Amino acid sequence: MLVHIPELLTAEEVSLCRQRLDAADWVDGRGTAGEQAAKAKHNLQVPEGSATARDLGGIVLQALGRNPMFTSATMPLRVYPPMFNRYDVGMTFNTHVDNAIRSVPGGGRLRTDVSSTLFLTPPEDYDGGELVIEDTYGAQPVKLPAGDMVVYPGTSLHRVNPVTRGSRWASFFWTQSMIEDDRKRRLLFEMDMSIIQMRMIVADDHASVLGLTTCYHNLMRMWCNL
């Protein structure tokens, strides 16, 4: 399930992130990749644990907390601290799948049920650099406005096409979901969106809204893994 989340960050937050990233130290991105992914990866990253990564990661986490679509699409249990990458001209990340388990800085592990990419560069500022995700509908190229985010299953093969002009900056991270199965998450997300649409047409206490909402929460009780 691919979900486009528009305007996760405000224009002011995007501007602040770009100012901080412009002054950041960038390192070889292969340092945070698994053995298979490192062979396919050619980009730059802000070091994990740096002041820039912590501060900007906090901005992203606050934005996630106020965004109901992110909650509905991912059913988050734990979120990996957001990371930040950069693709200059000629840089790319060939087709790969993300590691199933990530060691969380500070201790513990996280299962990467859902992958997220938050775009920080306006699409007109660079050529190439599309995130291409392979899902049940084929290869889906994604190139979004700055501040917009896409979430997709961590099980998906994906790549970043080579940048041919400009520089593409983004934040990326993973979510361990309360709902492990992507098919079940999709059903709950679609049901939640239908409930929201129905509430715009009829009263919240209408029998159809109450019935769907009851089904939604009872399915969550059956499927949640806490």
Binding residues for Fe cation: 96, 98, 158
Specify binding-site residues for 2-oxoglutarate.
Answer: 168
Specify binding-site residues.
Answer: 96, 98, 158, 168
User: Nearest-CA neighbor of 129 among 173, 48, 137, 121?
Assistant: 121
Neighbours of 207 (CB within 10 A): 9
Following DSSP, what letter does each residue of 20-62 receive, concatenated? HHHTS--EEGGGGS-HHHHTTEE-EEPPTTSHHHHHHHHHHHH
The span from the CA of 96 to the CA of 158, in Å, is: 6
Which whole-number Å values give the CA distances from 226 to 68, 116, 142, 206, in the listed order? Answer: 20, 21, 32, 31
The span from the CA of 27 to the CA of 105, in Å, is: 18
